[in-house]
Amino acid sequence: MKILVTGGCGFIGSNFIHYYLQKYPGDSLINVDKLTYAGNLKNLSALSLSPRYTFIKGDIADPLQMEEIISQGVEGIVNFAAESHVDRSIEAPVDFMRTNVFGTFVLLEALRKVSSKRPIRFLHVSTDEVYGSLGETGAFLEETPMAPNSPYAASKASADLMVRAYHHTYGLPNLITRCSNNYGPYQFPEKLIPLLISNAIEGKTLPIYGDGLNVRDWIHVEDHCRGLDLVLHRGKEGEVYNIGGQSEKTNLSVAKTILDHLGKPHSLLRFVTDRPGHDRRYAIDFSKIQKTLGWAPSISFEDGIRQTIDWYQGQQEWWREIKTGEYLDYYQRMYGNR
């Protein structure tokens, strides 16, 4: 089986590629990535000589390139390609509209043309942020109405609706997953957990938005990859599947856990002005994928966060190279005057 992965040089995409090629030794994989700031070829350097892995620098918003690639015997597509940082979407929403909305449309149009000859399963990787914010109780179901509160979440919700429409209108074998917050190796250090870990290692302050009591459901990226694998191969076409970690934590408690593991003082915590429109709580009900496909998270947050901290401690060259130049300018804009 030949699989196309878009955005495979990013955090979740690169983890999925490592997972997939190890699990399916008879399959081959094409990785198309535009290599924007968060795309890193080093995430997949171990695969550079593999005959089952092909990298193509490309843009999912390029219709001719996407149609040409999909026409090369691709049997399944996993779409990770997206701008994904909420803060950046607030600062520059146009990039999110182009990649997340128009890019998904281009992929679907290319699929529509090629699928007239042969069906190609299309798995669109989305986020729980499309549902908006929860109160103190309850959890997002697949039927929960979408109510996005940031330009990022709105762009993903728009893409989800396009994927749904192309299934119902054109009969494309499309599927959607919506996952809670991921953590693990290779995550770009602007995101909460790698930012806190790398800052703590460097002895820098850890910026915490607002009162730090915003709640997120955390899932290790390896568990997410297992869920994506099941949906890609066994999910029902036209369906949405929530994938959650069953591990709700406040941002403040996550920060304190990281400091404690590294033996750093809590005095490194620094509360900064809250993000505009900051959703208070997310929680995922994943009973659908559990009942229909037999998936459940297997890595506890306690084990996963220790493994993740240890990875960042052992891979300091990887993230120190990133935390320079444009990253420092961006960090100063986000947190320097708060």
Task: Tell me which residue of 331, 199, 194 sits closest to 265, measured CA to CA.
Answer: 199
The residue annotated as part of the active site, out of 33, 59, 87, 129, is 129
The SS3 assignment for 24 reads coil
Contact present, 12 and 39 (Cβ < 8 Å)? no
Report residue 3: phi and psi, to 5°. -110, 135
Query: Is 183 designated active site?
Result: no
Query: Is 128 designated active site?
Result: yes
**Token pair of 71, please?**
């026409």
What's the rounded Cα separation, in Å, for the pair 54 and 5?
Answer: 10
Task: State the pairing for strand pair 215-220/248-250.
Answer: antiparallel
Find tokens 């559990």 and name the residue. 290
Query: Is 129 designated active site?
Result: yes
The residue annotated as part of the active site, out of 128, 142, 217, 222, is 128
Q: How far is CA 54 from CA 27, 46, 48, 86, in A?
A: 12, 12, 8, 30
Full 3-state SS string of 106-126:
HHHHHHHHHCCCCCCEEEEEE
CA dihedral sign of residues 181, 149, 196, 20: positive
The residue annotated as part of the active site, out of 20, 152, 166, 282, is 152
Report residue 281: phi and psi, to 5°. -150, 140
Catalytic (active-site) positions? 128-129, 152
